[in-house]
Structure 1
Amino acid sequence: MSQPDAEYDHAKRLRERTTRSQEFHDRAKAVTPLGVESNVRAFDPYPFYIEEAEGSYVTDMDGTEYLDFLLALGPIILGHSHPEVVEAVQEQAATCDLTATPQPIAFEYMEKVTEMTPSIEQVRLANSGSEATMHAIRVARSYTGNDIIAKPEGGYAGAHDYALQSVYASEEAMGPEDEPNTVSYGTGIPDAVSETVVAFPFNDKEATEKILRKHADDMAAVIIEPVMFSCGCLKPRDGYHEFLRELTEELGIVLIWDEVMTGFRLGPQSAQGRFDIMPDMTTFAKVAGGGYQMAGFGGKKEIMQEIAPPEKDEAHKWNTAAFHGGTYNGHPVSAAAGLKTLEILDERDVYEHIEEMGDRLFTGLQEVADDVGLDVNVQHIGSMGQVYMTDHDIHSYRDTWHSNEEQFADWWLEAAGRGVLFGNPMQGERFFTTYSTTEEQVDHALEVAEAAFRAVDHPY
C-alpha cells in the first residue's frame, strides 16, 4: 500500500468550490478568534460558512450543497428544518417570548422528558450540555457532601473546568494506563480544580474498581457517557456498565450518565433504556432540543431535591441548597421545538429508520475501505459512529491513538470536496444518520467515501 504524499493538496477540490467562504473567513477572523463561533468548527484550510439547511442537506454561501452527516454534532435527528418543528417554533414565537416567569410549555416538555426517561423522577432545564453536566456535578456534590468526581480518560463532559480534565493529552502526560493522571485540557484551568477530578480507563473493570475504591470516601460522582462518543465511538464491553452500576451503588457514589450525545438518539428511552441500566442522574441536550438550545439534568427525586432549600431555614435558604439558575432555562421557543421533537420520536418509526440507515452507512463504509485495501476500523451503534484510520482494535481511549489523524482529515476533505460531510475533520468526533436520510443518499455517500479512500491511499 502506498503512503499519501504529504505535499498533495487534499483540500484542492473543496477550495475550488468555496471561494466566497475563503474570502469571508478573513472577515470572520477580524471579529472573532479563528473566525468561528466554537473552536471545534475551525479546520484547515478554512471553514465554509453555511447559509441554508433542509432535510439531509446544507448549502454554503457559495451555493455548494453537501449531504450532511455532521447534523450539527448530533441535534438534528428529524432532518434540518423539519416542518412540524418549524411550525411549533413559529407558533410559540408568535404567542409568547422569554418572560423569566414560569411558562406552561417548559413544564409540558419536562413531563415528556420524565415520561420517556426511565431514571428521571425530577428534572431541571439548561441551555447546553456543558451547563447540564456542570449543574449535575454540583448537585451530586451537595447530595454526598464530597468534592471529588471521576470520569473516564478521553471523555468530554462539557466545556467547564471540572469537565475539561483528561480529555486529550500525550501518553507521557496521561501516565500509567491502569491509573491515569488527571490532565487539564487547555490553559486557564486552575490546578486546584484538577485536584478534584480522578481519571479512570473506560472498559477496564479491574483498574476502574481500584481507582474508585481508593477515592471512595471523598468521591461525589462518576460521570460517564454510556457510549464514549467523545472520542469517536467506544462501546461498553464485557458488562462494564453493569459492573460500574453495582460498584457505585456499593460505594455510595452518584452515577451520572452523560447522555448529552446519546439521549433520545439511541432510542426513546435513550441509552439507559437500550442497555437497561438505571443511573442516579442523567444529563441530556442535542437531540432533546430538536435543533434549538435545550439541555437538562435529572434523576432521583431525593437527589434533585438538593436544589430546593429547606423551608425551615428561610433566613439563609440559598446557602443551604445547590443553586441552579439561568435566565434562558426552559426558553419557550426551545421547549416548543423540543416537545414536538420528542413527540415525533415517541410516536413514529424514527429509530427504526435512522438505525437501518446507520447500519447501511457504517457497514458500507467498512466494506468500501476494505475493498480499497486501506487500514480502517469503523465503529457504530444505532445511527451514530466513526471511521478510525487504523486496523487496531478500538475499545479504550488509548486504542484511538493508533489512528492516523492526518489521514482521516485528508479523507474528510476529499469527501467534503465531493459534497458529503462525514462529520467534521477531527478523528475524535463522530457522525450520524437522520430521519430524512434515504437509501439513495447513503449509497451516494458510500461512492464518495470510496473515492475519498482511494484518494488518500493513492493521491495521484
Structure 2
Amino acid sequence: MSLGDKQQDIDHAERLRERTPKSREFHDRAAAITPLGVESNVRAFDPYPFYVESASGSYITDIDENEYLDFLLALGPIILGHGNEEVREAVKAQVDKCDLTATPQPIAFEYMEKVAEMTPSIETVRLANSGTEATMHAMRVARSYTGKDKVAKPEGGYAGAHDYALQSVYATEEALGPADEPSTVSYGTGIPDAVSETMVAFPFNDKEATEKILRKHADDLAAVIIEPVMFSAGCLKPRDGYHEFLRELTEELGVVLIWDEVMTGFRLGPDSAQGRFGVTPDMTAFAKVAGGGYQLAGFGGRAEIMEEIIPPGKDEGHKWNSSAFHGGTYNGHPVSAAAGLKTLEILQEGDVYDHIERLGDKLFGGLQEVADDVGLPVNVQHIGSMGQVYMTDHDIHYYRDTWHANEQRFADWWLEAAGREVLFGNPMQGERFFTTYTHTDEEIDRALEVAEEAFRAVDHEYED
C-alpha cells in the first residue's frame, strides 16, 4: 500500500457529524448559493464545514451550540483573543464617529505611523485590504523601481491569491522538476502561461541552488518575495543563515528583497520576523495580526522604492502610465484602521508575546511528547506562538521534506480533535495553528489531552 492508503475503513468524522446536524442542514443551503458552501476554498472540508454563530476569547461556538477551543484563530489574525474589549471599544468609537468617505481620515495615518515605528524595513507605507493585495502591489512597485519583469519566490510558498503569487505553490514532483532547479508551475487553472513565465521558483533553505538560480536570472529579476518562515508549507524555518545569505545576495545583484510578513508580521514580535531574525528587507507586506481581526493589510519599505507610486507632476503632463498605480476604495478603512491601531498599541505596550510564546512552547512541545508517547511518526515544528504537526518523523528542512507527511492521517487526526471540540487549525497538512492571549495553561492541558486521544484514534491506521 502507498503512503496514506487506508488499512481499515474508520469514520473519523462520525463524532463531529453527530454533534453538528444544523451545520449539515445549513451546508445544503450554503452550497446552493456559493461553490462548496463556503466563502473561501480553504474553509471547505469533508464531510461538511460547521458554521459559526459566535466567538469570544479562546472559543468559537457553532450553530449547533458546540463550543470549540480555538487554535485556528481565523488563520492567524486573532492574537488577542476573539472580541478583545479594547479593540471592540475602539471600533465602536470609530463607527459612531465616521464610516467610509474615500477622503483621507487621520486614523489611517496614525495607524501607518505606528506600523512604520514598529517595522524596521518600513520608511513609508501604503494600506490595502488583504495579504493578496499587499503582495501584489509590493511586487508591482518593485518591478517599477527596477524596470525588470521577473520575480522569484520559493517553491511551496504561498504569497497571496493573485496570478503572480499562485506559482509553484503545490504541484506533483514531475511538474516541479529537479529539486535544485524547480520549474515554475501555476496553482490552479485560469492563470495564463505568460504570467508563469515572469516568475522564478527556487528551493527555500538551499543556498547553493538559490544562488545559482538567482544569478542565472539576475539581469531580468526585479525582486525576490519570500516568507521569513514558510508557514505556507506548515512551519518551515530558515536554517544556517539562509536569510542573511539571501540579503547579501540580493543586495549584490540589485534585486529588491520583499519579505511577505502577512503571516509573521506582528505575530513573531512587535517588530515582526525581521526584528526577530535581525535581517532588514527592502520591502515588507503585512496583514492578518495587523488588523486585529478586521480587513487591513499594507506594504511598505524604503522611501525611494515607495516613491514609484507617486505620479509625475504637472510639468510632465500627468503621465500616469510612468508610475506604479496603487488605489482602492476601501484602503485605510477607518474602522479597520482603528482596530489595527489599538491592536498594535496593545502588542507594543503589553506582555502579549511573553504569554503566547510561553504557551506556544507548552502546546507544540507537548504535542510532540504525546505523539511520541502514542508511538506515532510525528514531527512538530514551531516558532513562537505558531507551528504545525507533520504526520511524519522525517526531518523537515526543505519544502520537499514536507511531502513525507501523511496528509490523510493529519486530516483524520484533526477531525477526531474537532469532534472533541478542539480546533488545531484546519484539516490541511500544509496549514498551521496558533496560541492567543486569552489561552490559559488549563486550556493547553485540555488541548493536549484531546490531541492524545485523537492521536490514538488514528494510530496504526496507515502505512508510512
Q: TM-score, normalised by structure 1?
A: 0.99
Q: Indicate which of 164, 167, 180 corresponds to 2:166.
A: 164
**Over residues 181-232 of structure 1, what are the superposed CA-to-partner deviations in whole Å (9 max), with x where a residue is unaligned?**
0000000000000000000000000000000000000000000000000010
1:103–1:365: structure 2 CA closer, same or farther, 3 Å change rule? Answer: same
**Over residues 73-117 of structure 1, what are the superposed CA-to-partner deviations in whole Å (9 max), with x where a residue is unaligned?**
000000000011011111101110000000000000000000000
Deviation at 1:313, TM superposition (A): 4.7
Q: What residue number does 2:154 align with?
A: 152
CA contact (8 A) 1:267 1:351 kept: yes
Q: What residue number does 1:123 align with?
A: 125
Deviation at 1:267, TM superposition (A): 0.1
CA contact (8 A) 2:312 2:318 kept: no
1:6–1:196: structure 2 CA closer, same or farther, 3 Å change rule? Answer: farther
Q: What residue number does 2:37 align with?
A: 35
Number of residue equivalences: 458
* Counterpart residue type for residue 268 of structure 1: P
Deviation at 1:317, TM superposition (A): 2.9
2:5 and 2:158 map into 1 onto residues whose CA distance is 32
Is 1:346 the counterpart of 2:348 in the alignment? yes
Residue pairs, 1:193-212, within 5 angstroms: 193-212=195-214
1:359–1:50: structure 2 CA closer, same or farther, 3 Å change rule? Answer: same
Q: What residue number does 2:49 align with?
A: 47
2:53 and 2:320 map into 1 onto residues whose CA distance is 45
Structure 2: gaps (5+ residues)? none
CA contact (8 A) 2:356 2:436 kept: yes
Q: What residue number does 2:263 align with?
A: 261
1:320 and 1:209 map into 2 onto residues whose CA distance is 32
| Structural RMSD (CA) | 1.1
CA contact (8 A) 2:150 2:198 kept: yes
> Alignment identity in percent?
83
Q: Indicate which of 431, 454, 457 corresponds to 1:455.
A: 457
Q: What residue number does 2:415 align with?
A: 413
Q: What residue number does 1:70 align with?
A: 72
Q: What residue number does 2:239 align with?
A: 237
Deviation at 1:312, TM superposition (A): 5.1
1:89 and 1:61 map into 2 onto residues whose CA distance is 26
Q: Indicate which of 290, 304, 307 corresponds to 2:306.
A: 304
**Over residues 129-185 of structure 1, what are the superposed CA-to-partner deviations in whole Å (9 max), with x where a residue is unaligned?**
000000000000000000000000000000000000000000000000000000000
* Counterpart residue type for residue 399 of structure 1: D
CA contact (8 A) 1:3 1:458 kept: no
2:403 and 2:455 map into 1 onto residues whose CA distance is 20
1:57 and 1:268 map into 2 onto residues whose CA distance is 25
Q: What residue number does 1:89 align with?
A: 91
Deviation at 1:311, TM superposition (A): 1.7
* Counterpart residue type for residue 29 of structure 2: R
* Counterpart residue type for residue 424 of structure 1: N
1:313 and 1:294 map into 2 onto residues whose CA distance is 35
1:53 and 1:185 map into 2 onto residues whose CA distance is 33
2:155 and 2:377 map into 1 onto residues whose CA distance is 25
SS in 2 for 1:266: coil
1:186–1:6: structure 2 CA closer, same or farther, 3 Å change rule? Answer: farther
Q: Indicate which of 206, 210, 224 corresponds to 2:226.
A: 224
SS in 2 for 1:28: helix
Q: What residue number does 2:441 align with?
A: 439
1:63 and 1:69 map into 2 onto residues whose CA distance is 18
Q: What residue number does 1:134 align with?
A: 136
Deviation at 1:397, TM superposition (A): 1.1
CA contact (8 A) 1:3 1:457 kept: no
CA contact (8 A) 2:312 2:320 kept: no
1:418–1:218: structure 2 CA closer, same or farther, 3 Å change rule? Answer: same
Is 1:177 the counterpart of 2:179 in the alignment? yes
Structure 1: gaps (5+ residues)? none
Deviation at 1:315, TM superposition (A): 2.0
Deviation at 1:23, TM superposition (A): 0.4
* Counterpart residue type for residue 136 of structure 1: A
CA contact (8 A) 1:4 1:456 kept: no
2:404 and 2:113 map into 1 onto residues whose CA distance is 44
Q: What residue number does 1:99 align with?
A: 101
1:220 and 1:256 map into 2 onto residues whose CA distance is 10
1:309–1:298: structure 2 CA closer, same or farther, 3 Å change rule? Answer: same
**Over residues 236-270 of structure 1, what are the superposed CA-to-partner deviations in whole Å (9 max), with x where a residue is unaligned?**
00000000000000000000000000000000000
